[in-house]
Amino acid sequence: MTDEKNKSQKPEIQGTAGEPLEKPVTAAAPPLPLQSGGGGSRIEADVTLRKALGPEQTEALPLWIAIHNRTDAIGFEKYKNFLEKVFCEQGQKGEYFTSTAKYEAACKDPQSEMIQEREPCKPFRARFDRDLRDLSHVVHGVNAYELLKVATQIFLLLECGIVMHGERDAYGKHTNDGEEIPSDVWRLDYEPDDGLGTSWADTMQRLVNYLGTENRNYIRTIIENLYPNWDTEASCRRLQRRADCPCMLELIWNYWMEEGGLTQSLKAISLRFQNRRNPDKPNDPLGEMEITPLRPINNLLWGYIQDEQNSLSVPRRAYEYDHHYGLTLLGKAVPKLQSVDSRSKFIEAFHYLLNLCHRFIQEDADTTVNPDPFPVLNALKEVHLLLSEGAHNQYGDLPWTSRVEMLIQQYLLSLPEVLEFLRSRAMVAYPEGWMGPQDAMKRLQGWTDVSSIHFNNLATFGERLLLSIRYDTWLAINNPQQARGWVLYWQQEIQGYIHAYRAATGVDLSNPDRVDTTMPAILLRKRQMLQRRRVSGTRTA
């Protein structure tokens, strides 16, 4: 009876394909009794199964860390901190720039603490400080906004690229590159055996080695196909810079920000600033918005409106969304697109990839199952191919220009004057300062009631995933284990994107029975119409 009872309690062991094994696996021998005095005792041990990661699965780990590091470095909070340090009037220790008087006085004394702790005195630093000092007393014109725009471009120049660094110190320098990479960035349970450590500097060297490997630098591969002798031609030096440090920006970030109402919010504020009423609204929700000229945002809004002629229009961005990803915007400001080239298969391919990744993550969490990564590899190749087909014409500069403009829009929304008027919900712990005012604006205007947090997650996670697919040579990769490493490293972004997409559109991309390929703009419009019907029905009742 005891033997039969033990047999009935044996767990069913899963095979490599997720099916039960024909013969249950039993222990080689029963636990050995340990004689102790007059009686015996058994040795109890816990057995844990762990799937090890090898070099073939973590070969691109430096590239993934660099993408994660740079997308975090150009986030809004880092951008706002940069602006606060640049535009600070007092030349206190620990700021990016100091006032001209203090800096020039320090330059006369080479032994001063300011010179010892900062980089050598340079003329351009004094000129920049002088401009800041002079403009701080100017309350008219567009100079303040132009300086904000230039500072935003400088911020992206400093932080954007395929590099990796630790946090900047109070002076704006990277002094902690020798520190270990945090576990939330390293992520994988893997210790390299190439003689290098896990610090920022060591991983940067590992990234240089990886990108120098034949057929692993995507940009370099494209250039060599176009110009076989490009490395020996003096006229191709600019190509060298493009290959060594491509701009790590994805336009999908701007798409989700625009769907979330960022651009529309600034448009509504700028119309009210010009005393222009929305013809569709007899009573403007911003009718009581009166900004005194004494507030700094007054002059910034003036410069923002004056610079509209140099900004990207909504139709121009809509055409580029269609060219990159086959995505479109819906609204009165968007005309019917007559695109020459559209990525009509991108949504299907990307959503299918996310669906496969979700199933792979679930199966891989079971240590007795070894899921097949080949379908994921094939899906990665398909998405990479579609992304590369759309990387032409305006791809080089439009994402950069659009990122500059939307960072400025986020900054304007986060200013205290806007927060005081819109009065966002204080009990919501928004991770970034512009989200609360934007959600308040959407409630005032009757737009979507989906939180800006979800749209921000779609933008951030989507950008990281597409960058990791775009800038690796997936078409030349045939080892499926590299696809497994990609899924395991980016599983937080994959699951986060799937959740945010369901929260925003109501569609679950992890549905095992069907992969939804409907345009996100259509899904958002349907939810907004349903929201309005519910609100009108409640008011009628």
pLDDT the model gives residue 143: 82
Q: Is residue 439 part of a domain?
A: yes
- Do 200 and 80 sit in the same domain of this protein? yes
pLDDT at 53 over 50: yes
Instruction: Give the pLDDT mean for 23-38.
Output: 48
Amino acid, single-letter form, for residue 33: P
Comparison of pLDDT for 296 and 322, the residue scoring more: 322
Q: Is residue 487 part of a domain?
A: yes
Top mean-pLDDT range of 50-64, 282-296, 356-370: 356-370
Averaged confidence pLDDT in the chain: 77
pLDDT the model gives residue 57: 66
pLDDT the model gives residue 101: 43
Q: Is residue 2 part of a domain?
A: no
Residue 389 pLDDT grade (very low, low, confident, very high; cuts 50, 70, 90): very high
pLDDT at 237 over 70: no
Q: Is residue 16 part of a domain?
A: no
Q: Is residue 30 part of a domain?
A: no
- Do 192 and 277 sit in the same domain of this protein? no
Give the DSSP per-residue string, 53-65.
--TTTSTTHHHHH
Q: Is residue 333 part of a domain?
A: yes
Domain that includes residue 143, residue range? 61-244
| Boundary of a domain, candidates 244, 259, 287 | 244
| Boundary of a domain, candidates 219, 244, 269 | 244
Q: Is residue 28 part of a domain?
A: no
- Do 318 and 405 sit in the same domain of this protein? yes
Comparison of pLDDT for 236 and 207, the residue scoring more: 207
Distance in Å from the first CA to the final CA of the chain:
69
Instruction: Give the pLDDT mean for 272-292.
Output: 85
CA–CA distance, 13 with 19 (Å, rounded to integer): 9
Total of domains in the chain: 2
Model pTM score: 0.78
Instruction: Give the pLDDT mean for 263-285.
Output: 88
The 10s digit of each residue's pLDDT in 410-453 is 999 999 889 888 888 889 999 999 999 999 999 999 898 899 99
pLDDT the model gives residue 396: 80
- Do 294 and 240 sit in the same domain of this protein? no
- Do 131 and 216 sit in the same domain of this protein? yes
Judged by average pLDDT, the poorest of 9-18, 153-162, 482-491 is: 9-18
Write the DSSP symbol of residue 286.
T
pLDDT the model gives residue 523: 94
- Do 255 and 229 sit in the same domain of this protein? no
The residues, ordered by sequence, that sit 6+ positions from 266 with a Cβ below 8 Å of its Cβ are 304, 409, 412, 413
Q: Is residue 56 part of a domain?
A: no
Closest CA to 97 of 119, 64, 69: 119
- Do 394 and 427 sit in the same domain of this protein? yes
pLDDT the model gives residue 499: 97
| Boundary of a domain, candidates 244, 277, 303 | 244
Instruction: Give the pLDDT mean for 184-208.
Output: 62
Judged by average pLDDT, the poorest of 90-104, 308-322, 354-368 is: 90-104
CA–CA distance, 475 with 409 (Å, rounded to integer): 38
pLDDT the model gives residue 176: 57
- Do 240 and 333 sit in the same domain of this protein? no
- Do 197 and 295 sit in the same domain of this protein? no
pLDDT the model gives residue 318: 95
Q: pLDDT exceeding 70 applies to what percent of the chain?
A: 64
Beta bridge partners of 40: 35
pLDDT the model gives residue 244: 57
256, 455 contact by CB (below 8 A): yes
- Do 315 and 273 sit in the same domain of this protein? yes
Judged by average pLDDT, the poorest of 198-202, 341-345, 348-352 is: 198-202
- Do 237 and 283 sit in the same domain of this protein? no
- Do 464 and 322 sit in the same domain of this protein? yes
Closest CA to 154 of 404, 332, 519: 404
